[in-house]
Amino acid sequence: MHTTPLLVGCAAGFSGDRTDAAAPVVQALVASGGPAVLIFETLAERTLALAQLARRADPDAGYEPLLVAMLAPVLGDCLRHGVPIVGNFGAANPAGAARRITALARELGLPLPRIAVVHGDDVSGPEHRHLLPQMHGRAIVSANAYLGAEAIAQALRAGAQIVVAGRVADPSLTVGPALAHFGWAADDWQALAGATMAGHLLECGAQVSGGYYADPGLKDVPGLAQLGYPIAEIHADGHCIVGKPAGSGGRVDEHTVKEQLLYEVHDPAAYLTPDVVADISQAHVDEIGPDRVRLRGVRGHARPATLKANVCFESGWLAEGEISYAGPRAEARARLAADILRQRLAGLGPLRADLIGVASVFGDDAGRWLAATPAGDAQDVRLRVALRHAERASAERLNREVTALYTCGPAGGGGVRTALRPTLGTVSCLLPREALHAGFIWFTEGAAP
Amino acid sequence: MITVPLWRVAHGRTGDKGNRSNISVIAWHPALYPLLAEQITAPVVAACFAHRRPSHVQCHLLPNLHAMNVVLDEVLDGGVNDALNLDSHGKALSFLLLDLPLQVPATLLPLLRGPNTTDNGDTP
């Protein structure tokens, strides 16, 4: 139970993030000399379902594919300097991730770390099935509840050097270490809400430190190729100061922090998490130094009685095809190609058509935007079409029809690319807390996967 | 009064959860915030996104942050799993909103960001 601030550095904001991000963050944490934790957030909504599919194909897989690339550069320093690592990189196989980290430590000649594996998020089994939505015959790929910070905090208090979780709420990766460090009461909603919003600022990695912000001439950010990932200094009352490693690229100012503070927020007075309902309606964001921004005034309310769960299911096939037209009347030829495909694929369900270079992003799937875009004279246009179908063979027809434009379509079409992939759907539901039994176990090498 | 695109007055980012999109609109300067609150209203936003048929639009005001949070329901064609759009998250949508025209009193013009040109500053 401490009153000194806790530093939480974030080295990943999604699966596939830069793997060289962690080292400068860990150097800054170690240089501070104070208590510090390193977190990795690698699970978006669908990532866990993809991980579950990977585990089906290979029982040893199903955790973050970049796990070793992310951890190898910093594992030794973190263990040597007492910086615990907390991540949801366990995905669909936290024990598998723990085994791989143990092997990595051995490969690097390090003492084997004490690894806690968080369990309780997987609700795909029969004992929870009655709590999930009716699936109408669709095959469930994964079902996971968003756990809170408690199991992470318990593991850290018990001396874990690494905490491997699957699905936990993103901010809980930060709240867990803060809860363990400060020893807040379970109903200290103000402090929990402050730490939750600190976690929210961190959970997308560089999105708070200048990533995903730049707009040349209007919002310039230095050093985007060497972005510094964020570090939050969390105080005992829950307020935080966000910064980044000295000498790194990027920027942390009032504006980068506000963009991330509101990212994926709906009602700012009620940001729901498993740990607390956070309220930023009275919050203040202040620049207190170069690349140092304070967030204060976050209020907290009692945590929800239910936990959110995501259920992923097989939802059919997505087919996409593209072909390019250039030069005089290119746009007219691309539009004609789209008309041909609409006729050839009629009856297969909605076909989306985009004219890349003319109208392809803001538009709606029904084509109202494109229809309202007057025909112009664009000279470099790529037609892109997409459809979804429950049956693979039907979806595949799109790919054949786009390819056939080579000989049957308008003049000069080139560069056909097609793709066909299975798709996953997601439904969310709320589960009573009593139905979930979150906790942690120590990883031991003899344990079953 | 001079008409400028919203991006000269504010910046923002889009987030998505399921079939719901939220777009932050953050004033470049505290004195510009009232313009957002007055002019970026739910009906104005709904008209901007009419082709996506939002079922509900709400503009949450955050005067302390000199910002607002715009929430648009059912504008993502089902969301990241179901939409046929290349940008199935709708990540680019903030730039559609940020191109809305805004009326700015001449006294506030020095606070605007971006190129201060007079020839295209009046485009609707």
Residue of A47, A264, A348, A354 best to disrupt the B interface, most CBs of B under 10 A: A264
Same domain, A291 and A336: no
Residue of A219, A287, A308, A365 best to disrupt the B interface, most CBs of B under 10 A: A365
Same domain, A298 and A323: no
For residue A45, the model assigns a pLDDT of 81
Same domain, A224 and A283: yes
What is the tally of helices (H) and strands (E) in chain A? 13, 18
Q: Could you tell me which residues come within 8 angstroms of residue A147 by beta carbon, excluding any fewer than 6 positions away?
A: A118, A120, A121, A165, A167, A168, A169, A172, A274, A307, A436, A438
Residue B89: is it exposed, middle or buried by C-beta count within 10 angstroms (0-12/13-18/19+)?
middle
Report in angstroms the alpha-carbon separations of A197 from A72, A192, A201, A268. 29, 9, 6, 11
For residue A287, the model assigns a pLDDT of 98
Same domain, A351 and A211: no
Q: What is the CATH number of the domain that holds A407?
A: 3.30.70
Give the pLDDT mean for B80-94.
95
Low-confidence spans in chain A with pLDDT less than 70: 1, 447-449
Same domain, A48 and A145: yes
Check B65 against A266: CB less than 8 A apart. Answer: no
Alpha-carbon gap: A129 to the closest alpha carbon of chain B (Å): 22
Of the pLDDT bands very low, low, confident and very high (cuts 50, 70, 90), residue B117 is low
Same domain, A436 and A372: no
How far is the C-alpha of A194 from the C-alpha of A178, rounded, in Å?
Answer: 10
Q: Is residue A449 part of a domain?
A: no
Q: How many domains does chain A have?
A: 2
For residue A2, the model assigns a pLDDT of 82
Of B28, B67, B81, the CB nearest to A425: B81
pLDDT at B24 over 50: yes
Q: Is residue A448 part of a domain?
A: no
Locate the domains of chain B by residue range.
2-107
For residue B116, the model assigns a pLDDT of 67
Same domain, A345 and A298: no
Alpha-carbon gap: A31 to the closest alpha carbon of chain B (Å): 33
How far is the C-alpha of A198 from the C-alpha of A298, rounded, in Å?
Answer: 10
B19 touches chain A (CB under 8 A): no
Same domain, A338 and A410: yes
For residue A442, the cross-strand partners are: A116
Residue of B65, B74, B116 best to disrupt the A interface, most CBs of A under 10 A: B65
Report in angstroms the alpha-carbon separations of B110 from A360, B4, B105, B106, B114. 35, 13, 10, 8, 11
Domain interval for residue A354: 314-426
pLDDT at B123 over 60: no
Residue closest to A202 by CA, chosen among A233, A171, A245, A248: A171
Q: Is residue A59 part of a domain?
A: yes
Indicate the Cα dihedral angle A95, A97, A101, A102, nearest 10°.
Answer: 20
For residue B80, the model assigns a pLDDT of 87
Check B85 against A318: CB less than 8 A apart. Answer: no
Same domain, A394 and A417: yes
Q: Is residue A1 part of a domain?
A: no
A370 touches chain B (CB under 8 A): no
Same domain, A348 and A284: no
Task: Using an 8 Å CB-CB cutoff, list chain A residues near B26.
Answer: 255, 258-259, 262
Of the pLDDT bands very low, low, confident and very high (cuts 50, 70, 90), residue B120 is very low
For residue B124, the model assigns a pLDDT of 39
Same domain, A303 and A330: no
A373 touches chain B (CB under 8 A): no
Same domain, A306 and A326: no
Q: Is residue A72 part of a domain?
A: yes
Q: Which chain B residue has the Cα nearest residue A297?
A: B64
A377 touches chain B (CB under 8 A): no
A152 with A118: CB under 8 angstroms? yes
A218 touches chain B (CB under 8 A): yes
